[in-house]
Structure 1
Amino acid sequence: MNQLLRRLPPLQRTVMAFNLDDCSPSETAEALGLPAANVRQNLRRARINLARMLEEDEGGTQ
């Protein structure tokens, strides 16, 4: 999983790390000084990108 996280853009990687540490988007937004909507959007994009990467990796190993 760490290898996949490293492939994310920096902000997506950061918000995903906060999420994995059980921080809410509001808590993450406060810590980063960003609007909560930005954090939620980047978290959504990170999840989409991670899912895409997992699919690509699975497709390449079969």
Structure 2
Amino acid sequence: MSTPTGRTLLADYEQRVAAAEAELLAGLNGEHDNAEVFRDLVSRLAMNIHRADPNSDPCQALDHLD
């Protein structure tokens, strides 16, 4: 069960992540929407990692791809 404080905190973090994502991907926008392609590829990768191991953290898994 979420609390009002928790929901407010989550909304704040979601806005911060969205702003950081927009800044990071700004360089990929141009004639083609490369930012959207990149977002789609990362999303698919995260879903594939999750399907292979539902208890895994996709971010941690990506750190160990080397």
TM-score by length of 1: 0.44
Larger radius of gyration: 2
Larger RCO, structure (CA 8 Å, separation 6 or more):
1
TM value normalised by structure 2? 0.41
